[in-house]
Amino acid sequence: MYPQATCPLLLIFFVLFMLKKVYRSMNSNLQSQLTTLLDIHELLAPAGTSLFSQLEARAAPNVRLVRAFDIHNTFTSADPSIHAVFVKKTKSLISPPSNNSFDWLRFSHVAVDAISAYLPNAMLAPVAFDTVMRTVTLRTILVGLLGVDPSEVDIDFPAVDFVTRGINELWRLSKTTSALPPNLLSEVNEHLRHWVSDVPNPLEFIIPAYETMWRVVALTVALTHSDAKTRENFRDYLEQPFLERFRHFPHSGPSVEAIIQEILRLYPPTRHISRTIAEIPVPSVPSFLGCRFSRTVTKVADIETIQRDASVWGAFPHVFDPMRHHPERCVAQHWAPQAAAIIAAAILGRELEIVEGEKLGGREGWEGWTIRDIDDAQSASRMD
């Protein structure tokens, strides 16, 4: 009698097992694109979700960065202790315990020193626009944020150029299945550890600070260099790099903050944000069955689309118009927009000859854009 009762149960479990395998195979690598403000908000700020679940959802799509850069920080790990250490270290960098505020005046001097150190390379012949943007930004981050002393270690242009190109190449390859160059990461790390010797893996802090910022700096310079009033506004901010000046609307023009916010809106450095979550497609099934039939879905927040949505931003959302942020609706409280503005201001403060290419670039795509330092070139010709 017992064997007869057992057979149907075994059959049921066998059918469930096979259904589960078929279901998983049919629903592997599912991806969902989110383009509404409500859906994106629910994805990025889910209510009633544990810290671990949020970290896990963020880390899974970023596993490619572990392969490319061997970084294990809050962006690539679901470990709350790693998250806590990273957040604490980052806060100590942008809000030093000594005075609980970042020294923006020193940072502006560092940015000016960076452009002064590297622009002589563009004195006699034009240099690729993105090369200047990348190298000046990284040097400013190394000295102004991570505390590297250029009087003690040589932050020479060829090495910084190599590191920034290496980061670009590794980032590009991380999005593919192509093999990574065998020695590129170790050579990048060799330079970085020479400069930042007190951090075991400098890329864990350099990638978040530098990788998106240099592109914001590049877009800021590209979009404002031909407007004399805007350049004057940036120069004033460079001399007084404080929050009041950052938010100041001069005459009838936009504030520096409004310009940066509009660039971040129209050209978000992170166009898509992914989260990988487990979901039960049929919520009415019993929980003991639902967990067996859960599927993993990567949900992608389309930041670029929502930030160009006419229902959110009004008429002409594709037009660069910093004045749409006046009066201020969303006050920036973060370090990065001010830092990007200061680096851009240091570059805009020079007399430059900028030749524009056919289109604006991002991480790549700056073909045709070049920079020539008119100040130093004229000084050199007078000396001759």
The domains found in the chain, sorted by start residue, are 102-268+307-383 (1.10.630.10)
pTM: 0.83
- The bridge status of strand 127-128 relative to strand 370-373 is antiparallel
**Short-list 356, 343, 384, CA closest to 118:** 343
Q: Dihedrals φ, ψ of 277, to 5°?
A: -135, 155
Q: Show pLDDT as tens, one digit a residue, over the chain (384 residues).
A: 455 555 565 555 555 555 555 555 545 568 888 888 888 888 888 888 898 999 999 999 999 999 999 999 999 999 999 999 998 888 888 877 666 678 999 999 999 999 999 987 666 778 899 999 999 999 999 999 999 999 999 999 999 999 999 999 999 999 999 999 999 999 999 999 999 998 889 999 999 999 999 999 999 999 999 999 999 999 999 999 998 999 998 877 899 999 999 999 999 888 888 888 877 665 555 555 555 556 788 899 888 888 888 877 777 788 877 877 654 443 234 688 999 999 999 999 998 999 999 999 988 899 999 999 876 545 444 434
Q: Rounded distance, CA 109 to CA 261, Å?
A: 23
**Short-list 215, 316, 227, CA closest to 260:** 215
Contact 49, 266 (CB under 8 A): no
Q: Please state, in angstroms and as integers, the Cα–Cα distance from residue 27 to each residue in 11, 114, 151, 187, 281, following that order.
A: 24, 51, 57, 40, 11
